[in-house]
Amino acid sequence: MADPLDPYVRHQVYVEGYKNGETASADATFEEVSAVVLLVVTKLGVGNLGELTKRQMLTMVSDIKAKVKTIFNKTADLTEANIAKFLAADIKVTGQMVEATAGKPIGYGAVNLTWSNVANTPIAGVGVEPSVLLPATLTAMLADLSALVKRGYADSQEVADFTRELVGTNAHKYRDGLINKMKRRWTTAVQTMIQHTSSMVAFKLQSLVSENYTWCAVLDSRTTEICRDRNGRVYAYRNGPRPPAHWNCRSFTVPLTITEAMPTFYAWVSRQPVAIQNDVLGPARARELRTGLLKADDLPGFDRTRPLTVTEYAGKVDQILTEVA
> Does residue 52 sit within a domain?
yes
Contact status, residue 224 vs residue 246, Cβ threshold 8 Å: yes
DSSP string, 170-212: GGGTTTTSHHHHHHHHHHHHHHHHHHHHHHHHHHHHHTTT-SE
Counted domains in the chain: 1
The whole domain housing 286 covers 6-320
pLDDT for the residue 323: 81
pLDDT for the residue 2: 61
> Does residue 1 sit within a domain?
no
Average the pLDDT over 219-248 and give the result.
Answer: 90
Average the pLDDT over 104-108 and give the result.
Answer: 92
Q: What average pLDDT is seen over the chain?
A: 92
Burial class, 29, CB count within 10 angstroms (exposed 0-12 / middle 13-18 / buried 19+)? buried
Lowest mean pLDDT among 56-65, 71-80, 195-204, 300-309: 300-309
Band (pLDDT 50/70/90 cuts) for residue 85 is: very high
Question: Is the pLDDT assigned to residue 301 strictly greater than 80?
Answer: no
Question: Is the pLDDT assigned to residue 257 strictly greater than 70?
Answer: no
Secondary structure class of 71 (helix, strand, coil)? helix
**How do residues 187-206 score in pLDDT, each as one tens digit?**
999 999 999 999 999 999 99
Could you tell me which residues are beta bridge partners of residue 234?
214
pLDDT for the residue 261: 65
pLDDT for the residue 260: 64
Contact status, residue 231 vs residue 215, Cβ threshold 8 Å: yes
CA 6: distance to chain centroid?
A: 21
> Does residue 16 sit within a domain?
yes
Calculate the dihedral angle through the C-alpha atoms of 35, 38, 39, 45, rounding to the nearest 10 degrees.
Answer: -160
Band (pLDDT 50/70/90 cuts) for residue 324 is: confident
Contact status, residue 227 vs residue 184, Cβ threshold 8 Å: no
pLDDT for the residue 249: 95
**How do residues 115-156 score in pLDDT, each as one tens digit?**
999 999 999 999 999 999 999 999 999 999 999 999 999 999
Strands 252-254 and 234-236: unpaired
pLDDT for the residue 219: 75
> Does residue 325 sit within a domain?
no
Average the pLDDT over 233-262 and give the result.
Answer: 87
DSSP string, 240-267: S--S-SSTT---EEESS---SPPPBHHH
CA 307: distance to chain centroid?
A: 11
> Does residue 233 sit within a domain?
yes
d(CA 314, CA 73): 27
Tell me the CA distances in angstroms from 221 to 46, 102, 126, 224, 225, one per residue in order.
47, 32, 22, 9, 11
> Does residue 284 sit within a domain?
yes
Band (pLDDT 50/70/90 cuts) for residue 259 is: low
> Does residue 203 sit within a domain?
yes
